[in-house]
Amino acid sequence: MKQVLQNLRSGATEVAQVPAPGLGGNDVLIQSCKTLISAGTEKMLVEFGQASLIGKAKAQPDKVKQVLDKIRTDGLMPTLEAVFNRLDEPLPLGYCNAGVVLEVGRNVTEFKPGDRVISNGAHAEIVAVPKLLCAKIPDGVGDEQAAFTVLASIGLQGIRLAQPTLGETVVVYGLGLIGLITTQMLAASGCNVIGIDINDERLKLAERFGAKAINGAAGDPVAVVNAKTDARGADAVLITASAKTDEIVHQAAEMSRKRGRIVLVGVVGLNLRRTDFYEKELTFQVSCSYGPGRYDDAYERGGNDYPFGFVRWTEQRNFEAILGMLATDRLSLDGLITHRYPIADAPEAYATVQSDRAALGVILDYPEAADRTQRIALPASGDAPKAGRAVVGVIGAGNFSKMTLMPAMSKTDAQLKYVADLRGDSAQHLAGKFSVAHAVTDYKMMLDDGEVNAVLIAVGHNLHAKFVCEALAAGKHAFVEKPLAMNVDEIKQVIEAASASPGRHVMVGFNRRFSPHIEKIKQLLVGRGEPLAMTMTVNAGHIPPDVWVHDPLRGGGRIVGEACHFIDLLAYLAGSKVRSVAAHQMGEGVAVKEDKMSISLGFEDGSVGTVNYFANGSKAYAKENLEVYSDQRVLHMYNFRRTTGYGFSGFKKFKTSRQDKGHSAEFAAFVERVADGGGPLIPLDDLVNVTLASFAAMTAAAEGRTVNIAQEYAGVLTGSPGA
């Protein structure tokens, strides 16, 4: 199918041929009929992509600081690689879509095939959109008008925040698409509307929609507003403009009455002047997109709607309100359409948006039939797979695959045959970049391919155990990013699947043990005369509490999801399984307690270890530091860049030119083991032990007790191979 993509590095806009998207359980699969280009948001994205690296840096000063911090801790080259990898990722454009439902996910009952719907789907022939970001189009509303719904909801949310009442005077500052639609809705609500812009054609449209128009470049808009309100000032100002200047907010304050309301819907400079707001006691608020639910993963991706009686207007209900106005002719959008292009000419459409001052509503048209193929064959390097060679499929084209997995795998001797992701554009980009033969949106295609003998799994944590079991059942070796599983039941399923698939390995991405720094430490500890005392301190970095990693159902929390790395590392250095776990997490006063935890580990050989996993430190400080004490000697590893020895004969320091956490060596070892045979890189019972230890840390911290692994999980360990 065709999809419009923007390359943030080069600035190029293209219509790419990508696999049709896969369908999630809460998703609606839609064949697009019409989509609307947002002349504000999308124009900014295109212009950002076309800017130089210096221009991009100036536009995002906060990101520049993050880059500088990363250079200090991780080194120059890894940081530059990370930056360029992110810029190289194609960005899907568009969020105003009208189409017809093709199929619905297993959890969707609100829509059915054949329904006409709007959504925030991208400019693509087929889109998969969460159900709460869709709404049915009423009979009598055309596809072109319906395509404005999502954009119009942005203006509607701004109106709801301003809370205008009948007869109030409201200024709409900026008469682009959102501003003109907002003008109509305010007029329909009985408000006296004043529209400000510098484009005469848009001012005429605003007057047609019932507003009094002011040309902001022809005089002093503050004086005109004051004149039109008998010097009382506006009751509310909605800023729907896109500009870098701070003057717009200043003027909005000056034209407001005492205790007036200002709502920012667009994007303008925000160096606020205190006196503007102090003297009049003005209220200033920034509107968030389409309304309540936006950027709430539980609402949008999880399909958990807010109770109607408590949250009257969600983003979906705002969509429905706009469609209701269109159905009753209280909102008219035909006069806002200035250009129409077929999807194949999308680059020309974007050029029009950038260059033509008269351009407003630019509609993309789609063919009646769309290609639903979920596989794209790409020109891949290399010959047919040789006997004994690792033939690999990758499930998941997210950040880990882009930044770490695929660059490391491309340096091995494996044949990369598949990249699978529900997003076809992501799968295709990653496959094309690393000369993979097929980009697919249905991972089962690789499981059904007899040539594939190994599957690498880099998806959401809640899917790890499921995909490991399916890969084993299909006769493939399974490499899964940590964690192996999210609960005891999933551990049991993995053990059962492994027992039913002898000769097939399960490997978890515990890469730290493959780092040259850890190899050096392991060598230096050979022949030690006593157990080890170890401390691993992790400056994990803050992740907001509403991000999916903290969701117990999707991410499992950061201890299960990431701290398992460091439990495994200490177990590897000790050469012993974890026997007991105690833990303390931070108390009240923080939004997330569990990602600020100290975990105490007792090992079967008598070694002890502490994992300090803290998410409340500075990014300017190194992320990972390890200390190992043994036989009156100390080893200190600094951020996988430098290891220093104290008390060792003949060893003082080991350095690498760049940070090396062992990813490349790990993937190379896995590929070699798949190709040449042999036992697993890490025995399954060791993987199970580490995973159970991460569960035990959560239990120990929550219940204030020490957890004995063998006693707590006796039912699990009984069935574990090698137990």
**Which pLDDT belongs to residue 61?**
64
> In DSSP terms, which residues pair with 539 in a beta bridge?
614
Q: Which three-class secondary structure state does DSSP give residue 148?
A: coil
Residue 221's closest CA among 234, 208, 210, 206?
234
- Terminal Cα-to-Cα distance of the chain (whole angstroms): 50
483 dihedral zone (left: phi>0; alpha: psi -120 to 50; beta): beta
Task: Read off the pLDDT band of 556 (50, 70, 90).
Answer: very high
Six token digits for residue 456: 């690498």
Task: Read off the pLDDT band of 17 (50, 70, 90).
Answer: very high
The answer on pLDDT for 384 being more than 70 is: no
For the chain, the structural domain boundaries read 2-148+295-365, 152-286, 375-509, 512-717
CA distance 431 to 148: 34
Answer yes or no: are the C-beta atoms of 388 and 415 closer than 8 Å: no
Q: Please determine whether the domains at 2-148+295-365 and 375-509 fall in the same fold group of CATH.
A: no
Answer yes or no: are the C-beta atoms of 364 and 387 closer than 8 Å: no
Identity at 64, one-letter amino acid code: V
Residue 78's closest CA among 486, 623, 644?
623
Q: How far is CA 718 from CA 465, 495, 496, 577, 602, in A?
A: 19, 10, 11, 15, 21
Task: Read off the pLDDT band of 74 (50, 70, 90).
Answer: low
- Residue 457, H or E segment: strand 454-457
Answer yes or no: are the C-beta atoms of 138 and 162 closer than 8 Å: no
Task: Read off the pLDDT band of 218 (50, 70, 90).
Answer: confident
Q: Which three-class secondary structure state does DSSP give residue 206?
A: helix
Answer yes or no: are the C-beta atoms of 151 and 135 closer than 8 Å: no
CATH of 375-509, one of 3.30.70.360, 3.40.50.720, 3.75.10.10, 3.30.200.20: 3.40.50.720
- Residue 632, H or E segment: none
Task: Read off the pLDDT band of 62 (50, 70, 90).
Answer: low
Residue 181's closest CA among 365, 364, 362, 361?
361
Residue 253's closest CA among 236, 232, 228?
236
Q: Which three-class secondary structure state does DSSP give residue 400?
A: helix
The answer on pLDDT for 719 being more than 60 is: no
**Which pLDDT belongs to residue 456?**
98
Stated length of the chain: 723
**Burial of 288 from C-beta contacts in 10 A (0-12 / 13-18 / 19+):** middle
Answer yes or no: are the C-beta atoms of 392 and 447 closer than 8 Å: no
662 dihedral zone (left: phi>0; alpha: psi -120 to 50; beta): left
pLDDT in tens, 667-688: 999 999 999 999 999 999 999 9
Mean pLDDT of the chain: 92
**DSSP percent split of the chain into helix, strand, coil, nearest 5:** 35, 25, 40
pLDDT in tens, 560-595: 999 999 999 999 999 999 999 999 999 988 999 999
- The dihedral of CA 234, 237, 243, 244: what is its sign? positive
Lowest mean pLDDT among 88-97, 244-253, 310-319: 88-97
CATH superfamily of domain region 152-286: NAD(P)-binding Rossmann-like Domain (3.40.50.720)
Residue 602's closest CA among 583, 626, 625, 624?
583
pTM for the structure as a whole = 0.86
Answer yes or no: are the C-beta atoms of 678 and 507 closer than 8 Å: no
Answer yes or no: are the C-beta atoms of 605 and 575 closer than 8 Å: yes
Domain 512-717 -> CATH class? alpha beta
Percent of the chain with pLDDT over 90: 84
Q: How far is CA 19 from CA 22, 366, 367, 427, 479, in A?
A: 9, 17, 17, 8, 25
Task: Read off the pLDDT band of 49 (50, 70, 90).
Answer: low
C-alpha angle 682-684-690 in degrees, rounded to nearest 5: 80
Please state the rounded mean pLDDT for residues 129-157: 97
Domain 2-148+295-365 -> CATH class? alpha beta
